[in-house]
């Protein structure tokens, strides 16, 4: 079976020589296409590092990291840049451009996809903003949107290009519980519709139920006993 994410014996280090610090140890993780997996763990346990390796945002050094069938461990930066085009990223801070409207921000998610004409981009951006309930806010600037609305724009930007993989790092951290809930529900619904795989890092216990499975990282190591939500009931 082909996994969306297939990691074997992955190690990662920061620094060199005596200052070298191992932040990920012998990570083994398989995530099926279409699965929604939440990664939890204490601060500093290596969650963001693992997420950025999976996303091709930093280079993997040792072990095997197959993402959508492609080995990224040892990959040159050009290949990593290409691999990133398959992914949608959602961060704690929405990272929207304040000088661009909601629609223009979402269109940024299509800029690296030359197959879209300007007209296609506008139509697709409008469509997804309508799906997240912002159809009447497409010409608003981020400064005129609430935190939850900004994060919905960020989700639209991440999902507008039909990414095969969505990587989210604390997407609800800056939101109150109601907006946080709305944001993950939207993310889950859109991902299900588009059949993409989600890996989501969170400390937010209120959203754990969106996951098919929860994996726990502690001190750079994955705990063995994954919790399969469906099986646990
Ligand atoms: N660029 C870097 N250079 C050196 N050390 C780093 C770097 N990035 C992270 N680290 C260290 O690696 C370890 C893991 O960091 P990481 O950000 O992956 O943890 P985390 O589990 O995501 O934490 P948090 O929940 O606080 O975001 C920490 O000890 C951190 O200090």
Q: How close is the Cα of 45 to the center of ligand 1, in Å?
A: 7
pLDDT of 226 higher than 50? yes
CA distance 69 to 5: 8
Rounded average pLDDT over 162-182: 86
Could you tell which of 48, 55, 173 is best to mutate to test the pocket of ligand 1, judged by most ligand atoms within 8 Å of the CB?
Answer: 48
Rounded to an integer, what distance in angstroms lies between the CA atom of residue 29 and that of residue 230? 18
Could you tell me where the beta strands, DSSP code E, fall in the chain?
Answer: 3-14, 21-32, 36-40, 62-67, 70-71, 87-90, 165-169, 197-201, 213-218, 221-222, 227-228
Question: How far does residue 124's CA lie from ligand 1's centre (Å)?
Answer: 36
Q: Which band of pLDDT confidence, cut at 50, 70 and 90, is reported for residue 230? A: very low
Closest C-alpha residue for ligand 1 atom 7: 14
**What Å distances lie between residue 108 and 30, 79, 122, 145, 207, CA to CA?**
31, 21, 11, 18, 28
Cα–Cα distance, 83 to 77 (Å, whole number): 10
Q: Which residues pair with 11 in a beta bridge?
A: 62
Q: How confident is the model over 68-99, as pLDDT tens digits?
A: 999 999 999 999 999 998 899 988 776 899 99
Going by the DSSP 8-state scheme, the letter that residue 197 receives in this structure is E
Q: Which residues contact 218 (CB under 8 A, 6 or more apart)?
A: 41, 42, 45
- DSSP-assigned states of every residue in 87-143: EEEE-SS----TTS-HHHHHHHTTTT-TTS-HHHHHHHHHHHHHHTT-GGGTT--GG
Q: Is the pLDDT of residue 224 over 70?
A: no
Tell me how long the chain is: 233
Closest residue by CA, ligand 1 atom 9 = 49
pLDDT greater than 60 at residue 154: yes
Note whether 95 and 88 are within 8 A (CB).
no
Pocket test for ligand 1, best of 10, 21, 49 (most atoms within 8 A of CB): 49
Sheet holding 70-71, edge to edge: 21-32, 3-14, 62-67, 70-71
The angle formed by the CA atoms of residues 218, 185 and 101, to the nearest 5 degrees, is 105
Q: Which residues line ligand 1 (CB under 6 A)?
A: 14-15, 23, 41, 43-49
How far, in Å, is the centroid of ligand 1 from the Cα of 46?
A: 6
Q: pTM of the prediction?
A: 0.89
Q: Relative to the CA of 46, which ligand 1 atom is closest? A: 18
């Amino acid at each position: 079976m082909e996994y969306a994410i297939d990691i074997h014996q992955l190690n990662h280090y920061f620094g060199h020589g005596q200052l070298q610090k191992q932040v990920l140890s012998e990570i083994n993780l398989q995530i099926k296409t279409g699965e929604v997996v939440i990664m939890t763990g204490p601060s500093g346990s290596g969650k963001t590092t693992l997420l950025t390796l999976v996303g091709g945002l930093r280079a993997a050094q040792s072990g095997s990291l197959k993402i959508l069938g492609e080995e990224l461990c040892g990959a040159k930066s050009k290949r990593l840049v290409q691999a990133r085009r398959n992914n949608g990223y959602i961060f704690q801070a929405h990272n929207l451009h304040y000088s661009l409207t909601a629609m223009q921000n979402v269109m940024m998610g299509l800029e690296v996809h030359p197959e879209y004409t300007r007209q296609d981009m506008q139509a697709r951006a409008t469509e997804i903003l309508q799906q997240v309930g912002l159809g009447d806010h497409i010409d608003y600037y981020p400064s005129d949107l609430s935190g939850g609305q900004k994060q919905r724009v960020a989700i639209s930007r991440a999902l507008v290009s039909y990414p095969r993989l969505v990587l989210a790092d604390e997407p609800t951290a800056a939101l109150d519980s109601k907006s946080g809930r709305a944001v993950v529900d939207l993310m889950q619904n859109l991902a299900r519709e588009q059949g993409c795989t989600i890996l989501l890092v969170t400390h937010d216990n209120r959203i754990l139920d969106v996951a098919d499975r929860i994996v726990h990282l502690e001190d750079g190591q994955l705990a063995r006993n994954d919790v399969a939500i469906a099986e646990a009931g």
